Amino acid sequence: MTSLKSLALCFLAASVAAAPDADTMKRGQAVYSRTCIACHQPTGTGLPPVFPPLAGSEWIAKSASIAVRNITNGMIGPVTVKGTTYTSMMPPVAGVSDKDIADVVTYVNNSFGNSGAAVTEAEVKAIKAKYADRKTPWTAAEYEKEGK
Ligand code: HEC
């Protein structure tokens, strides 16, 4: 009983800690409208079979690092999202600061029915530093090999 209770408290603490504040969501939405919306659409549905959805995407759920790396280096298909295979290409997103990337990934992680982590500017910097040598677009096959 006690352990169940502390487990429940743990989940509560985790979800409270991960919940982004309203200002971050507002900034993230502005970055989304400027840099993602043309392809992934206002409600994250994408435009199948050319642009995949972010709403309910298993790649969004898998790791925030994926969105950060797609923004930085782009992504080249094939990639299967919610049962549809896309063989297209996402170009690197230009004109975004590390702070913009943190805000937009936090926004996408917590919009369109998604619920995920808030990403900080420091985390974005760390992900970029880890993959600094990367010059080509990422692939789903590479992401699949990685853990969460
Ligand atoms: C020019 C169109 C375009 C823009 C702009 C764009 N994307 Fe993409 N995105 C794509 C395409 C196309 C793919 C699939 C690429 C492939 O076939 O491998 C993709 C894939 C993704 C994926 C992995 C697959 C999925 O559906 O979850 C994520 C995450 C993602 N994009 C996030 C973003 C975010 C966040 C932004 C804005 C900061 C953005 N994209 C801007 C076209 C775009």
Ligand 1, residues at Cβ distance < 6 Å? 35-36, 38-40, 51-54, 57, 59-60, 66-67, 70-71, 75-77, 79, 81, 86-91, 93, 104, 108
Angle 51-81-52 from CA coordinates, rounded to 5°: 10
**Token representation of residue 107:** 């926004």
Among 33, 75, 85, residue to substitute to test ligand 1 (most atoms within 8 Å of Cβ): 75
In a domain, 8, yes or no: no
How many structural domains compose the chain?
1
Residue 12 in domain: no
**Contact of 115 with 109, CB cutoff 8 Å:** yes
In a domain, 25, yes or no: yes
- Distance of CA 144 to CAs 41, 82, 148, Å? 25, 15, 9
**Which atom from ligand 1 is nearest to the alpha carbon of 66?**
29
What is the distance in A from the centroid of ligand 1 to the CA of 8? 35
What are the per-10-residue average pLDDT scores of the chain (148 residues)?
53 57 97 98 97 98 97 97 97 98 98 96 98 97 89
Domain interval for residue 126: 21-145
Give the whole-angstrom CA distance, residue 20 versus residue 25.
7
Q: What pLDDT is attached to residue 18?
A: 58
Sequence length of the chain is 148
CATH number at residue 85: 1.10.760.10
Mutate to test the pocket of ligand 1, among 39, 59, 119 (most ligand atoms within 8 A of CB): 39
Please indicate, yes or no, if residue 7 is contained in any of the structural domains.
no
pLDDT in the model for residue 79: 98
Q: How far is CA 49 from the centre of its chain?
A: 20
The pLDDT of residue 34: 98
Q: Is residue 86 one of the residues assigned to a domain?
A: yes
Please give the model's pTM, rounded to 2 decimal places: 0.90
Tell me, yes or no, whether 85 lies in a domain.
yes
Q: Which atom of ligand 1 is nearest to the CA of 58?
A: 27
pLDDT of residue 147: 75
**Residue 106 falls inside a structural domain:** yes
Asked if the structure places residue 41 within a domain, the reply is: yes
